[in-house]
Amino acid sequence: MKYEFAARMGKVPRSFIREILKVTEDPEIISFAGGLPNPESFPYHDIKEVAVQVLEESGAQALQYSTTEGYYPLREWVSNRYQSKGVKVDPEEVLVTNGSQQGLDLVGKIFLNQEDPVLVERPTYLAALQSFGLYEPVFYSVPLEEDGVDVNRLEEALHEFDPKLFYAVPNFQNPTGISYSLKRRKEVARVLTGSNTVFVEDNPYGEIRFMGEDYPPVKAFLEESVLLGSFSKIVSPGIRLGWITAPAEVMDKLVTAKQASDLHSSLLSQMIVHRYLSEYPVEAHLEKIRSMYKSQRDLMVSLIQEEFPDDVQCTEPEGGMFLWVTLPEGMSSLELFEMALKEQVAFVPGQAFYAEEPQYNTLRMNFSNSSAEKIETGIKRLARSIRELEK
């Protein structure tokens, strides 16, 4: 039989990262390619205890169908967490999703028609390009600078393209690790205020700030925006829970779209996560993750500075799980990838993260999922490959 797939499927490449991860599954390879949290941070024991309690005390409820919007106490937890950071979000404005990735899909579903203009950062989160890409928009991008998006270019792009959405990751961005300063956050809110472009703020890493000053999300200055969050980096990615907050009018459409997709997210998982977050020492758990990632990040940054040639640059993230390396002009990270694989070390070539006109001399490195020993060996091997490529 000849399957005739929808045209849109031809427009979205399979995730380049997934293809690369296949190559790097070999346990002999030191991989900085994936985007995995450190499994040592998973609260196995606590989750096991909580799961038993939930099943024993509320098993019939937990295993039944439930509401699309999500488990109310979990929505309240999200709302209270925002209140503590100075952002007013009512529990009714929170929709629980299967990871923030589903939130991105739902946003695409309710807003995008074919050929609609969508603005993203340059570079941007690859799986957002995939998610929105299925709705066949036209992507435009605005450069990222050290402390956030280039606001002048953003303003120009808003006038020139009149985009439906502007998608950004203001905290410890995937892939660059870059974070917006407070000034940039306010400027972004200022230029978007009064426009018809919906700001889609993706914030899965906000709680993982291990240095520097914490700032509120842009939504604190731009109420009409859509803000996504995730339990993946604070509890576990395998539980597949996240959320999306939006004004009532948008929430109504999101709920309809989620209903059509999957009726609701797993109530059992929501009850487990809620009980864990409300009854266990979550602040201590978050501190543990932050200090773990900080030492991994410090080690990787200092080794890169010592071992890589001087004309190679890297970002110095204040949180999250990634840093971004820029090779000298004209060097190709894809060629470096081939050479590094021979040395049994892997990363993600940066070209995958561009919506348009990729920059070929960039690469993404994950620091959260490698031991100190692997970081040390891996960076030294990578330095050798870079010098070899420079010859």
Binding site for ligand PMP (CB under 6 A): 35, 99-101, 125, 169, 174, 202, 204, 230, 232, 237, 242
The residue (of 99 and 117) whose beta carbon lies closer to ligand PMP is 99
Residue 242 CB, shortest distance to ligand PMP, in Å, is 4
Residue 99 CB, shortest distance to ligand PMP, in Å, is 2
DSSP structure string for 27-45: TTSEE--S-PPPGGG--HH
The residue (of 242 and 350) whose beta carbon lies closer to ligand PMP is 242
Rounded to whole angstroms, the Cα distance separating 283 from 290 reads 10
Residue 110 CB, shortest distance to ligand PMP, in Å, is 18
Q: Report strand pairing: 348-349 vs 362-366.
A: antiparallel
Tokens of 355: 């919506």
Residue 172 CB, shortest distance to ligand PMP, in Å, is 9
- DSSP secondary-structure letter at 243? E
The residue (of 231 and 308) whose beta carbon lies closer to ligand PMP is 231
Rounded to whole angstroms, the Cα distance separating 2 from 290 reads 51
Residue 309 CB, shortest distance to ligand PMP, in Å, is 29
Rounded to whole angstroms, the Cα distance separating 75 from 266 reads 14
Rounded to whole angstroms, the Cα distance separating 8 from 19 reads 20
Q: Which amino acid is at 372?
A: A
Q: How far is CA 200 from CA 51, 95, 207, in A?
A: 33, 15, 18
The residue (of 101 and 351) whose beta carbon lies closer to ligand PMP is 101
Residue 337 CB, shortest distance to ligand PMP, in Å, is 20
The strands making up 138-145's β-sheet, listed across from edge to edge, are 94-97, 242-245, 226-230, 198-202, 165-168, 117-122, 138-145, 148-149
The residue (of 101 and 265) whose beta carbon lies closer to ligand PMP is 101
Q: Which residue lies nearest ligand PMP, judged by its C-beta?
A: 99
Q: How far is CA 375 from CA 60, 172, 319, 342, 355, in A?
A: 47, 20, 17, 17, 30
Residue 230 CB, shortest distance to ligand PMP, in Å, is 3
Residue 102 CB, shortest distance to ligand PMP, in Å, is 7
> What three-state secondary structure class fits 371?
coil
Closest to 243 in 3D by CA, of 82, 351, 376: 82
The residue (of 35 and 163) whose beta carbon lies closer to ligand PMP is 35
Rounded to whole angstroms, the Cα distance separating 109 from 164 reads 12
